[in-house]
Amino acid sequence: NYAKSIADLAPAAEQAGVSIMTECGLDPGIDLVLYARAARQFDSISSIDSYCGGIPEPKAMAKPLCYKVSWNFDMVLVSQNRDSVMIEDGKRVAVPAGQQHDNPFIHEIEVAGLGKLEAFPNGDALHYVEMLDAAKGLRRSGRYTLRWPGWSAFWAPLKELGFLSEDKVPGTGNSPREFLGRLLGPQLQYGPGEKDLCVMRNVFSGLEDGRAKTVTSDLIIERDLASGLFGMSLGVGYPASIVAQMLARREITRPGLLNPLLDVPDIRFFDELAKRGITVSETVARD
């Protein structure tokens, strides 16, 4: 278990005076620093909805999936065998991997310039909000992957038929999931003039000075055609580089196992992202 193996390093890191920053990429990563920034804007937070996904720009969509590969496609498929945890009406709700593409939490959001995107549960929302003191009375939370509409309708029957199974098929040495990765991956590659888009949205609702407030943070990172670097590569690589430099300059000094939500100075972090052309837009609505 990856999370457990990293956690096992915490005592030794503290004893050695070494700082280990975990989960410092795009998602988790940028979103967790946004959590920290949002926590300062509320007296209490009642809901957090986090969305993120890598999708092709509209002209690069490949039917019927409307998807292309901007990172390891095997890992894309592995992530579709992931259990999720939601918070609904203040209670923990489990969404097993088998229902990831067929559950009542699947919905669409509207993104300016892109239109409707499909959101489906993919992660443990409770794990991160437990770190936020302002979210102790949380009523609703979910972590969602974004795709062009139709993604869940495509995968739900395939999953039901076992095409994402990790069990080896007798006589082949491969699992159905491994077969799909090798079959589909080469067909879903970006051309040199095509862009991927990393779309992120985090929506926080709660109270400030007794008034209801909602803060929505939006971010889109697109492929740099001059260098060929994917938006996904930039969104994952820049946060890791920025925080590594913070550690090297001793701007972050606490030893042990660290997390961006608790240990990355958010103002400096977003200033550094902006220098690299990545900016987060924020809207505030008050009742």
Domains of the chain, residue spans? 2-286
> Which range among 14-18, 51-55, 115-119, 128-132 shows the weakest confidence by mean pLDDT?
128-132
- The neighbouring-strand residues paired with 20 are 257
Q: Note whether 149 and 117 are within 8 A (CB).
A: yes
The percent of residues above 70 in pLDDT, for the chain, comes to 99
DSSP helix, strand, coil percent of the chain (3-state; round to 5):
35, 30, 35
Round to whole Å and give the CA distance between 251 and 247.
6
Q: Is 89 left (phi over 0), alpha (psi -120 to 50) or beta?
A: left
Backbone angles phi, psi at 150, to 5 degrees: 105, -10
Question: Which residues lie closer than 8 Å to 202 by C-beta, 6 or more apart?
Answer: 31, 34, 35, 38, 48, 49, 50, 51, 216, 217
pLDDT in tens, 199-251: 999 999 999 999 999 999 999 999 999 999 999 999 999 999 999 999 999 99
CA dihedral 146, 147, 151, 156 (to 10 degrees): -20
- Dig out the tokens for 133 from the structure: 């003191």
* Mean pLDDT of the region 111-117: 97
Mean pLDDT of the chain: 94
CA dihedral 17, 21, 22, 24 (to 10 degrees): 180
* Mean pLDDT of the region 32-44: 94
Q: What is the pLDDT confidence band of residue 134, given thresholds at 50, 70 and 90?
A: confident
The percent of residues above 90 in pLDDT, for the chain, comes to 88
pLDDT in tens, 248-263: 999 999 999 999 999 9
* Mean pLDDT of the region 118-147: 92
Burial class of 64 by CB neighbour count within 10 A (0 to 12, 13 to 18, 19+) = exposed
Q: What is the C-alpha end-to-end distance of the chain, expressed in Å?
A: 44
Q: Note whether 122 and 82 are within 8 A (CB).
A: yes
pLDDT higher than threshold 70 for residue 116: yes
- Dig out the tokens for 183 from the structure: 């079959």
Q: What is the pTM of this model?
A: 0.94
Class for the domain spanning 2-286: alpha beta
